[in-house]
Homo-oligomer: A and B are copies of this chain.
């Protein structure tokens, strides 16, 4: 006997990304702001002033990728249980990508899911992590290997958060913006080449365009079975770099910048990208202070490392590359190991 089960769900999940001064927020439910020791002194007071709720808990975590772990998420959950949060309660993520990923993940787990709101304070999290619903933590096997797809109720991007952001972190955000442009939008890439990306008005446009591009991709493919994997451009190499350097030498966006340069070299060798365009991408990254070189110590070990990255399926490694110049993309899982290792060897010589 077969009983077919059909579970209906809404065909569309909606939420707004508000790029503007943080509005007054009134909630009729318990709220916990999850933030860290770097962001709290800079922005917490302002957020608290704007916020009205029957209970506001502040959960202040230590700052750093090394705390992006299941242990920290379980600590967040414990605080919520202590404060008797219920299924209507709300989490607010006030911070960068690490805070956003962990807060969203905690929200997805608490009593099988409560609401959460993002207030991304870094350029990187504003343009990237705040759209798409990827949440999770790292473990000893790698980055973001445990997590959930879980969408926020709303995202508030206040450009004022950026005024306190260190230059290096701002540049790391630009890396993800460049990624979007190279993969999807040649005209946007040219806008980036021609603009002062530190000008506040340019920043708002840059954030809005990136967010829209990413939203289009996520909209087509929430669970990353297809086009969403394109967002991993630069990340396949970048994750290995981050892992090899203990997640401490490079910011995520910096590792992605190097990863894009590596991917571009592979694309150039495969005839997918001209040397001139590879150089334009490299120049744009360098112009805003991003690293574009990395000394690969052991090309084969680096290659082996890909297998631990979850983006490989059935032990075939998938590379995301410009498909035919800037503004286009392709995904290839048939690139011979030797082709990739040749690129890594070039980086082994570099210095």
The chain A residues found within 8 Å of chain B, CB to CB, are 1-20, 29, 70, 74, 77, 81, 84, 86-88, 108-113, 131, 133-136, 139, 141, 144-149, 151, 155, 204, 208, 211-212, 215, 218-220, 222-223, 307-308, 310, 312-315
Quote the shortest CB–CB distance from A342 to chain B (angstroms): 25
Tell me which residues across on chain B come within 8 A of A144, comparing CB atoms.
112
Partner of A109, one of B81, B147, B314: B147
Whether the pair B3, A208 counts as a contact (CB closer than 8 A) is: yes
Whether the pair A7, B84 counts as a contact (CB closer than 8 A) is: no
| CB nearest neighbor in B for A113 | B149
Closest 7 CB pairs of A and B: A11-B11, A3-B17, A111-B310, A81-B141, A1-B19, A7-B13, A112-B147
Q: When chains A and B are docked, how far (Å) is the Cα of A149 from the Cα of B144?
A: 20
| CB nearest neighbor in B for A151 | B7
Quote the shortest CB–CB distance from A69 to chain B (angstroms): 11
Quote the shortest CB–CB distance from A317 to chain B (angstroms): 11
Report the copy number of this chain in the oligomer: 2
Quote the shortest CB–CB distance from A226 to chain B (angstroms): 13
Quote the shortest CB–CB distance from A209 to chain B (angstroms): 10
Tell me which residues across on chain B come within 8 A of A308, comparing CB atoms.
84
Tell me which residues across on chain B come within 8 A of A314, comparing CB atoms.
29, 86, 88
Quote the shortest CB–CB distance from A218 to chain B (angstroms): 6
Whether the pair B315, A84 counts as a contact (CB closer than 8 A) is: yes
| CB nearest neighbor in B for A310 | B111
Q: When chains A and B are docked, how far (Å) is the Cα of A309 from the Cα of B131?
A: 33
Whether the pair A149, B218 counts as a contact (CB closer than 8 A) is: no
Whether the pair B222, A9 counts as a contact (CB closer than 8 A) is: yes
| CB nearest neighbor in B for A74 | B70
Tell me which residues across on chain B come within 8 A of A4, comparing CB atoms.
14-17
Given contacts A134-B112, A204-B1, whether A219 and B146 have CB atoms under 8 Å apart is no
Whether the pair A6, B12 counts as a contact (CB closer than 8 A) is: yes
Whether the pair A145, B111 counts as a contact (CB closer than 8 A) is: yes
Quote the shortest CB–CB distance from A294 to chain B (angstroms): 25
Tell me which residues across on chain B come within 8 A of A8, comparing CB atoms.
11-12, 219-220, 222
Given contacts A3-B212, A315-B84, whether A148 and B109 have CB atoms under 8 Å apart is yes
| CB nearest neighbor in B for A18 | B2
Tell me which residues across on chain B come within 8 A of A5, comparing CB atoms.
14-17, 131, 155, 215, 218-219
Q: When chains A and B are docked, how far (Å) is the Cα of A15 from the Cα of B212?
A: 34
Partner of A7, one of B141, B147, B219: B219
For A81, A133, A222, the residue with the greatest tally of chain B CB atoms inside 10 Å of its CB is A81
